[in-house]
A and B are shown apart, each in its own frame.
Chain A
């Protein structure tokens, strides 16, 4: 009689069913389903992109409630214009373009309303060179978490002071991790322009956060 030395020798693998390959429905297929009246397809689309879009708009506008509102407006526009959607671009490019347009128009509205932000209190007349409202403390801090939290706050404030045309490509590249060609498609501009704007945005941030780098 043969003695089993390991559980593998029971050969369970042969009797186990093969793993089912769950094929993920493409965004285009979901949008077609939405167009055909399938509410679940649209719900799936929303669940895929709601966090990304909310986060992206939040990085652009620095206002959570407003970002949620604009994210919903983004999905509403996708729903309304589902019949006009063309599959020449990726759906993510399409939805990010809508979100970008909404975020930029919101930023312009704010400028018109002349909202006074705390970070912009000490901004110069051209609105581009804002001094830090809360200058960094040069002394070493004890708690590393506090340091990280402060760094993040500074980065947020610094991004918020970027001009609109630099802010969108920088957030898409360094926060959302999009490729240059994707960013160019979202912003409807050339790759060269995108690279140039990202470079300028980084230089701008470097100057503002020199103490933290």
Chain B
């Protein structure tokens, strides 16, 4: 058996169509070569077997179903087209970018304010010491950063609030103090003397009022003789503070000027 001829003949058998006439050299070779003859017979039977599979037809409602499917697809694409077009358009991208930037700016501002407040609060720790002096004398404050507090008319006790640097000093009746001569704010102990009642005013913008209830408190008293008295206590306001004013530290002491 000539292997080259066999290979070429088999290749021709393999690539030819079913029942197609082979070339003369291949045909002659097949007549003489038993192996190639068997190969041709085997391949022909195999291909006949594979070709015997009957074609399958599409169902009768194929077109109808396809039309319905195309219609549904068209509707779906029409519904989604506006959204898709908007999503990939430049205005939408720009709007999204602006929104992201705005959100970032808001977060940054909030963070920045928080940090600033905490820095001020930690930079000026609040401490208060009380001193009861025999002679009541109003403390004068020359500190520009510490607003003065209205003095009590009959002060028996003078409270000396801390200095901004945190050094608290007792002040004697003459007004001298132990070391630091920095002007300091003073306060009055209202346990001894009554405080002025400050009526609650209208809250202004940017202010938070720390106030009592708006309605006056009415107290009925009856003495031994059976006389009734009604005392109306007007609402007392503890003032308000501007939120935007960051010059003064927010502290937990009661030494703030309201």
A positions within 8 Å CB-CB of B: 43, 46-47, 50-55, 58-59, 64, 67-68, 71-72, 75-76, 79-80, 148, 151-152, 155-156, 159, 170, 174-175, 177, 180, 195, 198-199, 202, 205-206, 209, 212-213
Contact = CB atoms under 8 A, between A and B. Distances in A.
B46 A59 contact: no
B15 A195 contact: yes
Given A80-B73, A205-B46, A213-B45, A58 B51 contact: no
Nearest to A73: B69
Nearest to B66: A72
A50 B50 contact: no
Interface residues of B, number: 27
B199 interface: no
A152 B58 CA distance: 20
A114 to B, nearest CB: 26
Contacts, number: 83
A43 B46 contact: no
B73 A76 contact: yes
Main secondary structure of the interface of A (DSSP, over half): helix
Main secondary structure of the interface of B (DSSP, over half): helix
A155 B50 CA distance: 6
A132 to B, nearest CB: 15
Contacts of B88: none
A55 B47 contact: no
Nearest to B57: A51
Contact of B66 (A46, A206, A209): A46
Contacts of B49: 151, 155, 209, 212-213
Contacts of B15: 180, 195
B52 A155 contact: yes
Nearest to A59: B53
A8 B65 CA distance: 52
Contacts of A54: 56-58, 62
B16 to A, nearest CB: 11
Contacts of A58: 56
B178 interface: no
28 contacts: A46-B63, A50-B63, A51-B56, A51-B57, A52-B55, A54-B57, A55-B57, A59-B53, A67-B56, A68-B59, A72-B65, A72-B69, A79-B70, A80-B73, A151-B49, A155-B53, A170-B50, A174-B18, A174-B47, A174-B51, A175-B50, A177-B17, A195-B14, A195-B15, A202-B14, A212-B49, A213-B45, A213-B46
